[in-house]
Amino acid sequence: MLLVSVPGSLRDALTVGGVLSRAFLEDLPKRLTGPGRFLLQPLMAIALGIRGGVADARASRAPYLMRLLTERERRDELARAGLAT
């Protein structure tokens, strides 16, 4: 569904005046309170999860959830770091 809507959204953004146009900014509160929030929240969670996974991979660390489950002595520290991130 999302892939189908992207071309139309891009076309509208280009014809209206860009992604951060006045119309987009005025319409943003409607997007956050309407059915769009059901897409926005999962997409943000996915993006942040990928960002964290890439950071773990670059630092040669095990995935966060695996470390949280297996490193008992550091569990509190890892949970606080996860919440801070």
Structural domain total, the chain: 2
Domain carrying residue 8: 1-33
pLDDT, average across residues 64-77: 91
- Per-residue pLDDT at 70 exceeds 70: yes
Based on the fold, state whether residues 28 and 7 are members of the same structural domain: yes
Based on the fold, state whether residues 50 and 85 are members of the same structural domain: yes
pLDDT in tens, 1-53: 555 666 666 666 666 656 666 777 777 677 666 666 677 788 888 999 999 99
At 8, which amino acid appears?
G
Evaluate whether 74 touches 64 at the Cβ level (below 8 Å).
no
Based on the fold, state whether residues 78 and 47 are members of the same structural domain: yes
Dump the DSSP string for 4-71.
HHHHHHHHHHHHHT-TT-HHHHHHHHHHHHSTTHHHHHHHHHHHHHHHHHHHHHHTTPPPHHHHHHH-
Based on the fold, state whether residues 25 and 41 are members of the same structural domain: no
pTM of the entire structure?
0.51
Tokens at 44, concatenated = 């943000």
Based on the fold, state whether residues 58 and 84 are members of the same structural domain: yes
Based on the fold, state whether residues 43 and 80 are members of the same structural domain: yes
Give 59's pLDDT tier (boundaries 50, 70, 90). very high
Evaluate whether 85 touches 52 at the Cβ level (below 8 Å).
yes
